[in-house]
Amino acid sequence: MASPTCVMKFGEKGGATGYLVGQENRGLATMFVMMNAARLGVGIQGVGVAECATQRALAYAKERRQGKSFAANGPPGMSPIIEHADVRRMLLTMKALTQAARMICFATAREHDIGHRAADEKTRQAALSRAALLTPLAKAFSTDIANEVASLGVQVHGGMGFVEETGAAQYLRDARILPIYEGTNGIQAIDLVTRKLPLDGGATVTAYLAELAEIIGNVRASNRPEFGHMPERLTQALTGLQTATLWMAMTLQSAPEAALASATPFLRLMSLTAGGAYLAKGALAEDPASPRVAIARFYAENILPEAESLAEAVQSGADSVLVDAHGAVFA
């Protein structure tokens, strides 16, 4: 992964030549052909940066020794930092967020493929609507977590992460453009709320929530002890998402500016819940000792609780975003 983002100046030496792409006065519409595909592409870029940051931090944490861990019962001397609980928490967070974002991107790509290749027109249409619904999640969530993961990668490296030798800081710099370009993540959230939730009269999002509920029902029914608190955390997140989606549907009509004020936490809530469901679906297909089970459980118990908070913020936070409409706070 690398990011060639830079400032470019055209026309300094005697002018630059412009070429018309598509029809005259149809520039924005023409650009959006590129843009819609690019949004998923940027999401994948986020997954790529996050994956690289994770691999590099993991390798460093196995090599770098400092202090003596609880687990240490081998030869004398200091432990590799991967044995310290707080470092494990960071590495597991990196792995779990990266995997959740990857699965959201793959789910989006799959719907694109079905939407273009399925024999049946109705199947194609449903898939294209699903892809449209998931695209803002794929773009915004993946690039937000790319920054969180790359920042954790710097932290795992300690002082060696801040200086340049390890490459950890470069991932964070590369990640930082991703929530900005191809439509900022704020724009993605507004797109999700104002254009994607109302798709097909709400049928697209309703069918998606039903699919997540089915996965979570299967997790509950499996009664697998190695899942720990995964079933209840998934259920809490889904309940929060369902309630917040209903709030959004009503608020879009009654107080559209409030819906916009809560769009960003809503996008995060939907992404976290979807990611948790996908990880759990993967875990259901595995043996108890599988790393996929461990990651899904870690995600459910340590990351997914955020969904409840987000559901509260979506439903009762908008007024205090807007309360100062002309106000003293920004004086």
Give yes or no for residue 105 binding its own copies (CB under 8 A).
no
Binding window for its own copies (CB under 8 A); candidates: 33-41, 113-121, 132-140, 311-319: 311-319
CB of 168 to its own copies, least distance (A): 10
Residue written as token pair 């994948």: 44
Residue 63 and residue 185: Cα distance in Å, rounded? 36
Give yes or no for residue 317 binding its own copies (CB under 8 A).
yes
Give yes or no for residue 120 binding its own copies (CB under 8 A).
no
Give yes or no for residue 179 binding its own copies (CB under 8 A).
yes
Which one of residues 53, 90, 127, 131 is an interface residue with its own copies (CB under 8 A)? 90
What residues pair up with 102 in beta bridges, in sequence order? Answer: none
HSE value, Cβ hemisphere, 13 Å, CA-based, for 11: 4
Residue 55 and residue 22: Cα distance in Å, rounded? 43
Binding window for its own copies (CB under 8 A); candidates: 30-38, 110-118, 168-176, 213-221: 168-176
Which one of residues 45, 108, 129, 147 is an interface residue with its own copies (CB under 8 A)? 147
Residue 173 and residue 151: Cα distance in Å, rounded? 9
CB of 96 to its own copies, least distance (A): 10
Residue 244 and residue 265: Cα distance in Å, rounded? 10
CB of 21 to its own copies, least distance (A): 21
- 286 among known catalytic residues: no
| # binding residues, its own copies (CB under 8 A) | 83
Rank residues 123 and 320 by Cβ distance to its own copies and give the closer one. Answer: 320
Give yes or no for residue 325 binding its own copies (CB under 8 A).
yes
Instruction: Identify residue 300 by its one-letter amino acid code.
Output: A
Can you read off the two tokens belonging to residue 116?
């273009």
First CA to last CA distance, the chain: 42
Give yes or no for residue 159 binding its own copies (CB under 8 A).
yes
Binding window for its own copies (CB under 8 A); candidates: 40-48, 119-127, 216-224, 308-316: 308-316
Contact 261, 322 (CB under 8 A): yes
Residue 64 and residue 67: Cα distance in Å, rounded? 10
User: In the range 24-83, which residues lie near its own copies by CB under 8 A?
Assistant: 58, 62, 70-71, 82
Interaction pattern, residues 234-273, with its own copies; x per rule: CB under 8 A: ----------------------xxx-xx-xxx--------
CB of 179 to its own copies, least distance (A): 6
User: What would the 3-class secondary structure string for 44-105 be?
Assistant: HHHHHHHHHHHHHHHHHHHHCECCCCCCCCCCCCCCEHHHCHHHHHHHHHHHHHHHHHHHHH
Fill in the DSSP letter of residue 317: S
Which one of residues 45, 98, 185, 204 is an interface residue with its own copies (CB under 8 A)? 185
Residues marked active site are found at 182
